[in-house]
Structure formats: structure tokens, C-alpha cells
Structure 1
Amino acid sequence: MAQPGRWLWGLLPLALLWGTANLFVGDTIERDVGRRAVEAVAAIAGEAPGARPVTAQVDGRDVTISGEALSADGAARAIARLRSEFGVRRALGGLSQVVAQRPYSWSASRQGGVVTLNGFVPDEATAIANVAAAAAALPGLRIDDRQSLAFGAPAGFQAMTKAVLAELPRLATGKVALDDTRFCIEGRADTPDNFLALQAATALARDGFQSVPCALEPPVVAPYRWGVERLAGDTLRLTGFYPSDAARQQILGLLRRTFPGTIGIEDGMKPAAGEPAAFLVKVTRALGDLARLRQGKAELTGDAYALSGDGPATFEACQALRLQIAQGDGPDSVAQASIVCPPEPPPPVETLMPPLPEIPAPVFLPSELPAAPPPAVPAAPAVPLTWSAAIGEDGVALRGLVRDAPARAALLALARGLAPSAAVSDQLILEPNLREEPDYGAATGFALDLLGKLKRGSVSLAGAVLALSGEVANGQAWQELEAALRRQPLPAGLSLGTAGTAAIAVRPYVLSLSADRSGLTLTGALPDAQTRAALLALVEASPLKGRFNDETQILPGAPAGFAAVARMAVTNLLRLDFGSATIADDLVTLRGLTCRDLIKREVETSASTGLPPGYRMDAAIGLRQTGCIVDPPATCQNDLDALTKRNTVLFAQGAAAVTLDAPTERVIAEAVAILTQCPGARITIEGHANSDGDRDGFNNLDLSARRALRVRDELLRRGIDPARLETRGFGTERPLVPHGSADAKPMNRRVQFTVAK
């Protein structure tokens, strides 16, 4: 001890050794504590595919746990087990109960050179297998993997994703999708044969999965070919394409009516889109021409029509047929007509005889003069075309003028094809002096083709002006109608009336919405782009920002106030933990779950009282029995909601001042105590008002915002960090009870708190 400098210097290596040991040993201890904490909690909480795994963060001997448990009881027992684990001083955080994702949706879409995998999968292995299956099915295409893990996959999910991915190469563009135990294939097939194969695939139930109708379309081909050949032995061979199953049935029906009796049919037609205008009218004409031949062929290639074969057995009848076809050609130009006729018979042999003597002209006396010829009868003026057709539940009704019996028969055949199981009412009037323009067959055929796209409605012709009104069943029917009217020029020189398509509506007009933690999905119809933008803005201002899946179409016929109802539905869905809504014409259906009774009451009330006139609401919001997080922020939220329900009146009518009487002082103090329990959470102070202010000249939105600010000031005075507090005013938008009821004033004139999740 006589030389302290020496032994003090000797302590320095010991200090360094001690510090280094603590550094490495401390990390080792924390890793060991974290590992044991995760093992202990996971053993009790349980594991499930798609659930968030249990993780632990260790700070010294404080362990913060997070993840999902199979049950609320398991979550509570897991936290209790963690607190008893050796080496753990404090157990922080919490577990939430895993909730099965509903709907459990997954899809694979093909667009250009990219295949996009989207939706939920139960585990990483399934996600990797799906990527591999997509790459094997479509080699050379880029795979964009957007799959995410979620609990609740139906049985057989992985096998089903593999099966539907195998169908994706048959689509030129489109997607295959699963939705719980339903599957769908939609888009445009790349070949007619693949379209038929996809139709067969969707008709089969697979391992508990059922197909649902989707917009599956045949390929577009050009040139569009169709042909019918009359062979020996009364056999007819059909080749080429047909645009839809309904059109195919109409063609077969026309064929049997045109060739009555026993005939054989070889049907080699295949489905394809891209048919020329008035396709069925051209087919009807081709079958009629072919029926006059002993054998031959009629073919359509785009808009060109060719006819060839052996004509009638006599020269005169064959020449008459040639002339009749040429005169009836109209706008359907016969690019090639080759009808073989028998040879012309030789002229009759002249017999020679002596000339007859000349007979003098008769001489008439004045009383015997021949009568004057009758005056010429002027030709009847041409009659302009007036014609209409209507379709409904009772069938098809034809009214107006028709030129002759063959034209009537052709119209009736087309009308029966529109409604095979319904009656056709023939109220046509024969008028042989119809004007030549527009071409009767082409004009009425095109009009009936449009009528077939309506669920109910009518088409009419006034000269060459076409008018239509009625309802289409869905967006696909509307698109088909629009596409037919966009083709210019219209058949037979027709023009659309000034009303255009303004009198066409989609019925039912349906918008479906669903919201969960993955985002908000919209399907169905919207009236305009402004409504779509407004709904997107609501999502972007919510916790679901960036997760907006829009599968809607802009369609006509939205009922008045539809946009406002859609905004109301989105606003309420965004407040729930998850839910769905459907707007079908004037009926709004809202379903969902929330952990907060206050939100349940607000949503049910605002949904039923905030509708425009004429709408009906069916709202049922439930309280979640499982899946509510049990960590401190959720506890704070429950306590704050209970405080709001116990003490609804903080303000006098029309006032924003907080009078600090004893009850109010107690309420503010309770709020401060609750907020102290969750020091890291952000709080939104929400101000509300009842509807009396509207009558008394108050700006309720401004009043509610000032009330929220006043409560914020009181909380700041009591030490709450201002960075944690936000304020919003909602005016009368979110009543707890309907405005006008006995207890509406005190219940709706309130301030409440929302803890950020």
C-alpha cells in the first residue's frame, strides 16, 4: 500500500476485462431470455398457419412480446407464463387472438408479360409453391408476387391454387381467383378450343370448391368466318365461329326451320368474338339462299358473303334464282356468286307457211269509234318505315310495318331466338310500298340484335333513326350494347336518336364493399369517376391508406343519391374492424364487427339516419367476441369509451366552454389517469354535436371542433404530452342515438377519444 500508483495501474486491465465480459455475456443473456420467452409463450399461445408468429424484444430483463394466439384465453395465459419465466423482470406488450381472414381471397392474373399473384396464403411454403407453379405454367413471363400470410385458408387451398394456375395459360388476359371455397376464371381465352376447355373447367366442382359465374370471354378473331354447306343426303355441315351460346342455339334453330324434315347436322362451329354487325341477319339470309340450292355452300368472311352450288333443276328456275339473289343483295354484297344452272334449252323450230293476204284496216263510223283509254293510275307513294320491338317477362312483341311475308318470317325467327321459351306477339302490318331505305332486313335485324342485349325494354325505327330504352342486367351486357353502337357506320345507314343511350339503365344497380385489415375492396357499379375519386380519398385519409382495391365499372342508371350513400357506406366500414356493405338499388345492407360498443352504436345510428330520401337500411353491427387485442392501448380505449358513456354531457347547448364543476373535474381527471396508462399511444379527441344547432343558426361542425380543442386544452394543463393529441370535429355526422329522439341532445352533444392502433 506504500506505492498505490502501482496497484491502481494494475486495476485497469481488470476493469477492461470486466467490461468486455459484461458486453458479451449481457448479449448472450438477452438472447437466452428472448429465446426462452418465445418458447414459453408459443407453447401456450399455440401456432397456426398464417398467424403472426410470437416475437420478443428484450431490454435488459424487460421482455416485450407480440404476435397472435389461437384464443383469448391462450393469450392471457401466455402473458402470465411469461411473467413467471426465470430472468424476466417485466412482461410488456401482449398477444391478440388470431382471426380467420374472411373472405379468404387469392388470385393470379395475367396481363401482358406479367403474372401477378395476389391475396392470402397460409404459409411461406404455399407462397413459394404458387410462384413455382405460375413460372412452370407460363415460362418466360415475369412473376410479380404480392401474396401475404393470413390465417383461415380453407381445406385443400394449396391444391386448388395449383389447379387453377394450370388453367391460366389458356387465357390471353384475365385471372383465376379463389374466394373462400369458391373459384372463378375470368378474362379472354387465347383460342376457341381453350375457351371451351375453360368453360368445362368452371363447370366442375373440385375438392369442396364450387365455381361461380364470371366474365369469361372467347377470343377475338379476324377475319370472322362462318359457313354452311349442303351435302348429298340432306346433311348440313356448319363451320366457322359463333359469338355466344345463345347465338349458336339461334343458328341451329334457324337451320331446322329453314330445312324442315329429317336432316343431319355436322356442327363444327367454335366460339369467338369479333362478329360483323347484324351477324344473325346475314346468317338467316345465307340459310335462306342455300335452301334454294340442291347442294352448295354459303360463307361469311367478315362483311363479305359468298354463295356457290347447284341451282334448281330447270334453267328457267335457276335463272330466276340468280336474278332474285342479285336483286335482294342490298348492303350484303355477294363478293362471289357461283350458281351452276342446267344448260339453256334450244329455241323452238320455226315452220314455213305462205304469207297471209293483207287485211284492209277497218273503217269506223262516228258512232263506232273506239273508247278512249282509261286515265293512268298514279303509283302509290312510298311509305316511310315505322317499326318497334319490345322484350320483357312475357316475351317479345313486334309492331309496325313489314314489306312482305318472307320478311315477316325472318323477323319472327329472329324474335323467337331472343326468347326461345317465351311467346312472340306478331302485330306487324303488311305494307308493300315501304321505302327502299333503310334496308329493311339489315335495319330490323340490327335492332333485334340490340334488343337481345336488354333484360327488358324496346327498340324502334322511324325511318333510319334508331331509338332504344330499357334495362340491362349487368355491366357486361352494357359493354356489349355500347360496343355494338360504337361501330360506325351502323348497319343499313342507321343513326342513333338524340337521346342516345340515356334511357338505358343497369338493373339491379349494385355496389359491394368489403373492408378488413388487408384493405377496402369495391366491386360492382359506380355512377361516375368523381364518386370513385371521393371513395378513394376517404380510404387515403384512413389507416387503410394505399390499400384500395377497385374492381368497379362506371355504369349508367344509378338511383338519385347513390354517390352519397356509397360515401356513407365507406365511411362506416372504415370505422369497423372488418365488415361488408351492399347497395342494391334503394336497399343498403351493412354488416360488420368491432371491439368497441361505442363504435357499434354510432355506426348503426348514423347508417340508418344519414340516408338520402328513398333509401332503406339494413344494418347489423356486432361486437367481436374474439380477436380484440389485450395490450394496454386497447385497455385504455375500453376505459375511455366507458367514461364517454357514463358522462355524455360536458357542454351546454351551443357552448364550447368546459365548466369545471365537480363532475366535470372528475371526468377530466379520469381521462388523464386513463391516458397515463398508455404513454406511447396517440389520441384523437373527437367532438360531436346534436342537431338543435342547425335550427338555432350554429355551425355544428365548427362547434364540435371547438369542443374537442377545449378538452385538449384541459388535458394539456394536466400534463398530457401535446404531441400525443389530435382533434377532430364531426358535427352531427355520428350520432349515438337518432337525432330527434328523447335522449338525443345529451347523448349526441359529447366528446370522446380514439386511441390509435
Structure 2
Amino acid sequence: MCRWRSWWKGLPALVLLLAAALHFGRAPIETELTDRADRLLVAIGESWAHASFDGRDAVLEGEALSEDARVKVRAELGQLFGVRLVEDRTTLLPERRPFTFAAIRDGNKLKLEGYVPSAYARKRIIEAAEKMTPGVALSGAKELVRARGVPAGDFIGVVSFGLDQLAKMQRGRFTLSDDAFSIEGRAPDFTTYDELEVTVRSELPVDFKLARFAVLPPAVSPFMWSAAREPDGVVLDGYIPLGDARRALLDMVRAAVPGAAISDRLRLADGAPPTEGWLKAVSFALSQLGRLPGGKVTLSGTTIIIEGVAPDFAAYDALAGARRAVPEGYTLTRFAVEPPTVAPFVWGVQRTGSGIRLTGYAPSEDAKRLLLDAVRAGFPGVPLSDEIRIAAGGPAAEAWVNATVFGVSQLAKLRAGSVRGKDATLAISGEAVDSAAFATVDAALAGPLPGGFTLNRDVRPPVVSPYVFSLRKDGQGLTISGFYPDAQAHAALLAEAKALLLGAPVNDVSALAQGAPASFSAAVTVALQELARTSAGEARFDDSKLRFTGTVLYPAAIEQIRANLTQALPKSFTLDLGLDIAAQIMAGDNTQCQKAIDDLLARGSIGFSAVGDAIAPASRGLLDHVAAAARGCPDALVTIRVEVPGATPTLAGARARAVSDYLAHAGIAADRIVTDGAAAMAQGQPDAALPAGLQLIVR
């Protein structure tokens, strides 16, 4: 049954159905039109353009090479079946004048830059570049700009031709500007250079011309040239610079060796020094060759080598004199002309206040040059007098150089001195600059000489003034500084210092030097013995003046030390004494005091005269410190016992009393000191019981 009054209720569903039909039916049409349009544009050779569709309406975009191309694309697209309207949004590519392109190769890198007429051209050029040399990294391809203005002719062909030439070089450049191109670079070898020259002389790409061919021949280094005299003439070998140098060179050969036949084996190459200077150097070398039958001259870069045998001394002197007239900018690095023979073969290097003087003979020019280099390096800025000559008859050049340069290196550490040679003997003498230099030279001369030479040596320590020396004692041990005159006495002093200071560390920063006053070592020994008695102090020598300062362990020690130093110091020495008394440290515990005494006696022993009871001066320091330890326990008895096997009871008792007297003078009350048991031990009897308190056993 029809309800016609309610028909409008179905309208929304109908609208949705129509919209869906339009939407899903339109997309396939647009896709198909886009595909057909793309195929059409490729087919007509206008792939630069692209069409998109809104329904059946086309929107045309892209950059055209010309207005004709735009018209063509619009017309062709408008005739495509199914297209209703064409909206042209294309633009013209910019025109470039000049139309340029460049390909630059740097090893395994190739860079493209400039303009291309089309995407097709870009693609073909990229393909050619990638095939140029396997492994070459290509850059700049995406940055090639499409533009109008390409010259007539095969643009892709001329670019491919340029890339083929770059493939033959490790580094080079191909550039195109309108219809003119250039090739620059350097050939890796002579074969490639010849091939490139032949290529540019053959047929070039049509409609393009070669504006510049700037490919250099291989750069050789060093740039070698030589001329050798043979019985039948002169042989020229090596390289000759670019330009017109060959004719001038041949004229120089004819002038230097008149009438000689010339064999020319020279090859054109790059890498030569400036041609004008090079020709001057060649002229100089050929002038020397004229004096050397059978000789040879060589240029290597800016260095010159002369080899041969001088026919006589006059020729040798002339050749030797010519060494001082080498053309500016060039160096004579080897003068291997055999000189006259001398005997004996002597030479010398003397160092004086005015500079360095070289005398005698050297076995070769190279050997002399190495010696001069060593002298200049060892004595920069010092005036040099070179009187040395080249002669035959001496040691082998290498051995001579090694030995003499070694001697020069030692001479550099001497204030004044000399290195003298005679055949296979080398003598080195002089005074060292300072103590460190003397130690270095002394160590160097202790070993064998280079080259098997025999050594005569007379190298002395430096002379210093004022002559200073210091013994400084503190909580860290003993520091020895300043200078000492004799290595043997110094070693003995170190051994005694370790004994007197009861094994305390000894830091020795002193050095060997001349200039000490008479009896210096004896004065130092006396000062060391008294310094051992201080808790801290310094004995400083300034020439023959002794400044003795520090802190002593008890008051009486000040005058004792003064008296001992005054009596024992050599008469030429003066004394300046400045002593204070150290603060007394109270242990308060017999156990601690005994431990301190035992520790002292474990690190040192109390000595006496060989046959008597007199206490040795070297034991005063130990006894002073024992006394200081005993004073730390003022109420304790101090029992002294001498345990010296084989000693008579009388001697043992006398020695015990000597120790007792020393301690009493050091501030230990006499009623605290006991000497019982000494005689019993001396007779080998069993140990007697020792009284309670502190025990001092002398062994």
C-alpha cells in the first residue's frame, strides 16, 4: 500500500548513494588519465612536463626549454581522449649565457657542476661519469641545473669525450663554455701524456672546438739531469724543462767540452726549478765537467753533484774553489772529486773564546759537510773558521764522520777544548761547562768510540767559584748539595754519612767540580761528624768558610762542637757557629726510653780507639742521641755494660767509664749511671744481673 505523503524520508539515503558513486567512480578516471598523459609526454619527447587531473580537467606543470615546447605540450594534451580542459601552469627554463659545464676529478672523486639542457641529458651524463673509472665517487649530479641556451651540436657527446680524457688522469678538469671546451690536469706518466697529446690532435667532437689544452707532463721529483764524459763524447741523460731550453743546453755542452760528440737522451718533463736559474746551474756544472776527464755532473732539483778524479792539484784547487761560486738558489750537496793523498792524516776541531776552528783534512766532501752540519747544530750562532781541506789517505769516510761528530757532540759540553785526530786516533780534551755536562761526557767517553777509533782523553770538571757545599740534616734525613772535588772521597763521604746518621736517608744532589780549597774533603768529614750530633742542622761551606747552624741535644754540646771544629778543621778554614738547644722530650715511661736506646744501638755502634778507651769522634752523634733518650726518663738508672769478647777487664771497665763520663757531660746525673758487670763479661763469666732501669750494652 503506497504512502505517498512520506516519500521525502528516503532522500538522505539517496544523496549518500549518489555521492559514493561519484567518489568511487572518479578516482579510477583520474588515475587512468594521468597514466595516459605521462606516456604521451614521453612519447612526444617532452618528459619535462607533468599532468595531474581533477576529474577530467588537466593541470600541466614543469619547466620548458622553449615556448614552442609549451605550445606543443598543451596541444597534444588537449587532444588526448577524455580530457575536457587543460590548465597550463608551465614555465620557461632560465636562459644561461654562456652555457657552462664542468667536470672536476680529484683522485677517486668526480664533481659535476653547471647546466644541462634536459633531464635526459643529465641521465646520460651521469651514466657516462659512473662508467668513467670504477670506484670514483660522483657528486654534484643532482645539482646540475636544467637551462636554455645549450650550443648547437652533440652536447652529450662532447661531455662524454671530456670525461674519457679525465679517466686517464688522477686529477684534472674538463670545462665547457658554449661551444668551446678546455682540458686541464697532469698526466700520471709519460705514456698517458703522449696518448692525450695524440687525442687532441685527432678529430674532435663535431661543432665544438678545443679552446685550451693544459695537461702537463708528469712532474718528476727530484728533477734529475746529468752529463757524463766518456772517451767518445758527452752523454746527456734525465729531464729537461718545458719550453725552449734544449738548444741553450746543447750550446753550453759544446762550449765546456769543445769537439765532443753529444748523445742526447733527455726527456721533456714538469717539476723543474725556474728555467733561467736551472740553465745557470747547468752551465756551472758543465764548467766543472770540462776539468774532469771521465767525470760526471748531476742536478737533482736544486742540488748539484760533481763526481770524478781531478787530473792534478791545479784542477782540484780550481774545482774546490768553484764550490764557493754555486749559482743562487742551488746547493752543492756532493763533491766527490778524488783529492791528493796526505800522510799522516790529521784534523782538529778547537773551541776557543772566539769561536770554532776546523783544521786539517777530511776524507770527502760529504764527510766535511756532515761535520759542518754537526758543528753548526752543536754551536748555533758561534763564529766558525773553516780551514779544513779534502784529502785522500785517511780513515773511511763513514768511520771518520762517526768518530769526529761524536767528538764534536762532547766538545759542545766543554767550556773550552778540542777534538784532534791522527789517522785512527781521536783525542778529546777540555774543561766541562758544568758538572752535569762533565758527568754526561765522562759517561760517553767510558764506552768504545764509533768507527773503532782509539781514544785519548783529558776532560776535566768545571772550575766553580765560590766553591759551595752543604750538608743539611732534618727529619727527612741528610741532603748533600753543592760541589765535591774528588769522586773517590765523595763515595767515602756518602758511606760515612749513612753510618753516622744511623741509616737515615741520604739525598745526594751534589756534583763534581774543580776549585775546592785545600783539605776540603777533610773539612767536610769533620763537619759531618759534628752534624750527626744535632737534632737538625746544616754545615755549609763557602770556599774555606764553614757556617755551622742547627739545634743540639744538650747545652754542653754547643761548646764541645765549637772546640772540636776549631781543633779538627784545617788551618785555612774559618768557622761561623750558630747553634740552639733543642727542646727536651720527656717519655715518662722506662719502656719507651729503653726502646729508643735499643733502636739507636741497633742502627749504630759505639767505637773506641784501637788500643785504648777513648771514644771515637764518629760515635759522638750516637751517644748524644742515646743521652737524649735517657734524659726522657729522668728517674731511671742507666746501666752501662761493655760486651767486647777478648777485652781485658781493665779495658772493659775503662771503656764503660768513658761512656759514663760522656753521658754525664751530656746531662745525665752521675748518680743515675751504673757500670757494674763490665769485667764479668770481659772475662767470659755468666751475665750478672743488671740493676733495674735503662740498659746500655756496648758491643
TM score, norm. by length of structure 2:
0.40
Q: Which has the larger radius of gyration?
A: 2
More relative contact order, 1 or 2 (CA 8 Å, 6+ apart): 1
Q: TM-score, normalised by structure 1?
A: 0.37
